[in-house]
Structure 1
Amino acid sequence: MNRFRVHHIMCTNLYRGYGYSGPFCENMTRMVTWLKDNPDEPLMLVTHPDEICKKCPNLVEDKYCVDSTNHVHDKDSALLEPLHLRENTVYTYNELKQHAKKYLTREVFENSCNNCEWYKQGLCRYDDFDYS
């Protein structure tokens, strides 16, 4: 079963093919395609590196992103309550998108994404989220 980070609910939905590196983009594209083709496959929701993170150049020791402050883990953890999700629980991609449709507010999105490079560049916007 694939692991799936909480904040990747937004990243996979808004992904446009930009990324840190060629290997990261290839892996992200593969995962986004798989999720869209298999929206009812089980995913284990986690707050630590998942299948998408495997090719991220910022992943250190398969444990955290960029540095030991583990700020991405904190981002994931902060999204659990407002999206009414539970860590280490199995969901489908469709179920996760339905949680986002019901509970993701502009404020939650902005608080989660405001430090992301793609958000800062205007590539990810709350108004572009696709709930279908």
Structure 2
Amino acid sequence: MKPLRLRGHHLLCVHGFRGMGYSPSFVKKMWEVVTKIRDEEQDFPIQVVAALDDTCMTCPHHGETACQADPNSNEHVISMDQKVIRHLGIEENEIYLKSELVRLTAQKVRPDDLDYLCANCSWLPYGVCKEGIANVQNGNVAQKAKVSTGRKSFSQQYHFQNS
């Protein structure tokens, strides 16, 4: 089985993802990846990279070899990738089983760690990332829904961001 290529920071994003994204095609691809990650019955290889990955290919900001959302975006996302890789104690470009990466995330990443690991990420203020990491810590990798408050959740609506 060909490994899924995921950026270091996307190892955390998948747990907080609620349907927001840069374009409809990006959201669709991210949901595919997120669904596989959250399926506790599936285990598969993931190559962890600090570069464009399988989800980036559907983002309107990807270039041939780098993120081109703005002049500093590639440097910023690579920095986040490298911080997450170091924090998890794994190696860039190596292949790990999904179950091992989820276990390491649950053991080593606390919601407040995202303030450093994901500093200046435009999605961090929404709070869904910290909520997702808290769920993983509590054994809720599948991100099973909470009781509805009657308001639309982020998973019930789409939100697109240009940068």
Partner of 1:85: 90
Query: What runs of 5+ residues in structure 2 fail to find an aligned partner?
Result: 140-163
Per-residue Cα deviation, 1:110-129 (whole angstroms, up to 9, x for no partner): 11223222212333225634
Aligned length: 132
Tell me the secondary structure at the aligned position of residue 87 of structure 1: coil
Q: 1:18 aligns with which of 2, 17, 20?
A: 20
Tell me the secondary structure at the aligned position of residue 49 of structure 1: coil
8 Å Cα contact 1:59/1:66 also seen in 2:
yes
Q: Give the RMSD, CA atoms, in angstroms.
A: 2.1
Q: 1:28 aligns with which of 30, 42, 51?
A: 30
Alignment of 1:89-128 (within 5 A): 89-125=94-130, 128=134
The letter for the 1-side match of 2:136 is D
Q: Separation in 2 of the partners of 1:116 and 1:94?
A: 26
Q: Separation in 2 of the partners of 1:114 and 1:51?
A: 23
Partner of 2:143: none
8 Å Cα contact 1:60/1:67 also seen in 2:
no
Q: Separation in 2 of the partners of 1:111 and 1:7?
A: 12
Alpha-carbon shift at residue 78 of structure 1 (Å): 1.7
Q: 2:60 aligns with which of 57, 60, 82?
A: 57
Q: Separation in 2 of the partners of 1:94 and 1:18?
A: 25
Give me the TM-score of the superposition, normalised by structure 2.
0.71
> Which structure is larger by alpha-carbon Rg, 1 or 2?
2
Alpha-carbon shift at residue 35 of structure 1 (Å): 2.6
